[in-house]
Amino acid sequence: MEDSASEFEMPSDDEAMSGQQSDGDGDNEMIIEPPEARKMPYVIMTRDEIGDRQRRCIKHASDLLDVSQADAFVLLRENTWDLARLQEAWFNHEDKTRQRCGLGSASSSASAPSAATGGHASGVQQSCPICMTQRDALFSLDCGHGFCAECWSGYLHSQVDDGKAAVQARCPQHKCGRTVPVSFFEKYCDQVRWQKYQEWYLFSFVDDNPSVKWCTNPGGCKNAIELQGVDPPEIRCSCAFVWCWPCGEEAHRPADCKTVHQWNIKNSAESENISWIRANTKKCPKCHKPIEKNQGCNHMVCSKAGGCGFEFCWQCLGDWSTHGTSTGGYYQCNIYDKQAKEGKHHEEEKTRMQAKHALDRYIFFFERFMEHDRAMKLTVKEEAELEKQVPQLHDDYNFDVTELHFLYEALRQVRCCRRGLK
């Protein structure tokens, strides 16, 4: 019994300490990472990393589906770079998927001439369907529509000049849906256009991929972000710009994306100009052009430059020829006072006052929005100045650089608060 009881005795403090030390010597030591070092639900990629990620996806699809890498690129792009979606469609109906993506059937692809060397040549001259010139050799895709080298060059050059849709170029033959492979662009394009095509080839991994987006920093950033998991509320790029994944705007919590969209429209569209016109102008009774009265008497003259030259009273909008000393002179209108008592101008004045109130309210919030935006941008400049001050604090007061890291965190927190107040 004594032996069995000893099995349940708690280890002494010395034994526990020695056990902890022995565990520390091994590889199982738990490391607590700071919050910023923990895995984020997205990956920030530079241009080179985008290319590496794209090549890995193409190779994986090529090995899985047993197709060339050129065909794998077309299949992935047409399926928004979703390998699971492509895999399901491919194994459900391979020929249908090939046709939808602009590829030939497996049998025609195997028996067709190589796209890299392209086409067929014979001793008998043939007529090119585009330039109608007799040629010694025509070059074709696996669809069999042959064209001369000059026409291929002209066609592919025009495709590249038209924009990034060149990666979706199809056979020049009318109603032929066969996709032009990368090797044809490499063979028939000049150096400048080939480099431009390579850029669009790379960008297609981001532009045609819903799980990858470019950083939306208005100052310019060439990084791309790949989402891995649930939509994060904010993306913090390595360029220090923080933005919202769903809408692409600058981070705007706690406001939702719809509110931010409406605010941006209000700031950029002509809606506020219309509100200002409603609040501060009246229409000429004759030509209906808006007129602003910023000073002076009630005698208004519609400018002949862009107007009609009609003279009228600012208050009642009646013909000025009917006004005089009996109606109140230049600074008062008895006609308007009488009409106001009868309620003839009630709706018009109500609309003008509502527009003026809405405009004043908008200006109130817009001024504060711009002030917080200016203060937020100021923290970016202050952070750059802090980079110069930290080494000086280290030299003058012997502070460890790591001890001064809180200064950067404080600036980022101020920036975050200013962003929230916007």
Q: What's the distance, CA 61 to chain centroid?
A: 28
Spatial contact of 100 and 122, defined as CB atoms under 8 Å apart: no
- Residue 209: per-residue pLDDT: 93
DSSP secondary structure of 310-359: -EEETTT--BGGG-SGGGTTTS--HHHHHHHHTTTTHHHHHHHHHHHHHH
Tell me the pTM.
0.64
- Residue 406: per-residue pLDDT: 86
Q: How far is CA 322 from CA 170, 232, 298, 326, 332, in A?
A: 75, 69, 13, 10, 14
Residue 170 β-bridge partners: 179
- Decide: helix, strand or coil at residue 336: helix
Q: Is 333 in the active site?
A: no
- Residue 345: per-residue pLDDT: 65
CA distance 134 to 195: 31
In tens digits, what is the pLDDT along the chain, a chain of 422 residues? Answer: 444 444 334 444 444 444 444 444 444 544 444 444 456 789 999 999 999 999 999 999 999 999 999 999 999 999 999 999 999 999 999 989 999 998 887 765 544 444 334 444 444 678 889 889 888 888 988 888 889 999 999 999 999 998 888 999 999 998 898 999 999 999 999 999 999 999 999 999 999 999 999 999 988 899 999 998 776 778 989 888 899 998 999 888 888 899 988 888 777 765 566 667 767 778 788 887 888 887 788 888 887 776 788 888 888 888 888 888 878 888 888 888 787 777 676 677 777 777 778 777 887 888 888 888 888 888 878 888 888 888 888 788 888 878 888 888 888 888 888 877 87
CA distance 207 to 188: 25
Catalytic residue among 284, 297, 313, 333: 297
Beta strands in 28-148 (DSSP E): 42-45, 120-127, 134-140, 146-147
- Residue 121: per-residue pLDDT: 47
DSSP H or E segment with residue 257: helix 257-268
Residue 28: half-sphere exposure toward Cβ, Cα within 13 Å: 5
List the structure tokens of 309: 């030259």
